[in-house]
Chains A and B, each alone.
Chain A
Amino acid sequence: MLTDQEVVRHAVIGREAAYRELIRRYQRPVFSLVFRMVRNRELAEDLTQETFVKVLNAIDSYRPEYKFSSWIFKIANNASIDHLRRRSLDTLSLDGSPHAETAEAIEATTLQISDSAESPLDEVANRELGSRIEIAIQQLRPEYRNCILLRHVEGRPYEEIAEILDLPLGTVKTYIHRARNELRILLAESRDD
């Protein structure tokens, strides 16, 4: 399998297959990150599309000494943060936004968290914990939220997260530690409710 850098070299000369490969490799992680940041499926689609369009239109400016994943996540994160700064959003619930009025709006703001490959009992247990985690993540500050998502959901190393977010390494570690502390507290509170 070609590395990201090799695919990008083909994309720079305009090969459509290279564009498609880059989109195929990164559409799922980028969309998932953006969706968890902005909490609206339709909006996440638009921001994901915007991210890929920016990346592919500026593919000439990509510097191969940096990881391609860092670059695309950086652009995706900036798009999400820009949007969050411009608007205040509804809180997310498993049953959709309280302000959603149509079936489509409810579906767009409902978080689907179950994995259909699990056994029914496991599915119930994991769904319950996963649902608490998802709701707890949404209550984190955006800067904590994107750090914890990049570290523990996307599995990016600390150094790459620092590159993506343009933050010092120490700040990234601090944000992740604080995010984990808050998640532990939020989980304990929701269990007591």
Chain B
Amino acid sequence: MTASPATHLSADELDALHEGTPARRATSHLETCPDCQALFALDTRLISVLGQLPTWDPSPHLMERVLSRIERPVVSAGVTHPAGVRSPRERSARRRVVVASLLTTGLLTGGFAWAFLEPDTALGLAQPAFQQLTGALWTGLQALSANAVEQPWFSAIRDALATPARAVPVLMAGAGLYAMALLGLRRLLTRPAADAGW
């Protein structure tokens, strides 16, 4: 005859059996109740498989990435590095930026020097290009202005800015709105500070 459900092993008694610290009642009940024996066996297998589930390593670069983001002074081999010691990848990226900047500066300086030494040649090359560029810009500006003048809102804006007494408050309000929008955007993009306290 199987024991009634009321006397089957409780969750805590099952736990104690798994921990190896069972009460006498639990041990003796387990010897006589096939339902609890089956449950205990299934639980034992489940716990065994859970304990054998694999664990995994993160990528080998994790350590360097973490160390590069530490915001405290780091002491290595007796030398204190300032906060935010950079990883090799960051140092290499900075090197590339420095080299590119130096190359660009060198090219610009060289270009100016050549133009100074050979003004006629430089002018002969630059003038047609410059005339075309300014012509295109001027044509574009004229087209935009002609278009804006024909818009229904143009006269309202012109009247609002007609006198300095009107223009100054309007422009200040515009600048204020722009500053508020920038601050709001900055707040949205800034991550909250780490809170690791107990």
Which chain A residues have a beta carbon within 8 Å of chain B's beta carbons?
13-17, 19-20, 23-24, 27-29, 31-32, 35, 44-45, 48-49, 52-59, 61, 63, 66, 71, 75, 112-115, 126, 129-130, 133-134, 148, 152-153, 155, 173-174, 177, 180, 183-184, 187
Contacts and interface: CB of A to CB of B under 8 A. Distances in A.
Given A17-B76, A57-B71, A173-B11, A23 B52 contact: no
B57 A31 contact: yes
Dominant secondary structure at the B interface: mixed
Dominant secondary structure at the A interface: helix
B198 to A, nearest CB: 6
Nearest to B57: A28
B58 A27 contact: yes
Contacts of A28: 55-58
Interface residues of B, number: 37
Given A14-B74, A130-B49, 7 more contacts: A32-B56, A56-B70, A57-B71, A148-B50, A152-B50, A152-B51, A174-B11
The 6 lowest CB-CB distance pairs between A and B, nearest first, are: A152-B50, A58-B196, A16-B76, A32-B55, A177-B11, A31-B58
Contacts of B49: 126, 129-130, 133
Interface of B: 11-12, 14-15, 42-43, 46-47, 49-59, 62-63, 65-67, 69-76, 80, 194, 196-198
Contacts of B76: 15-17
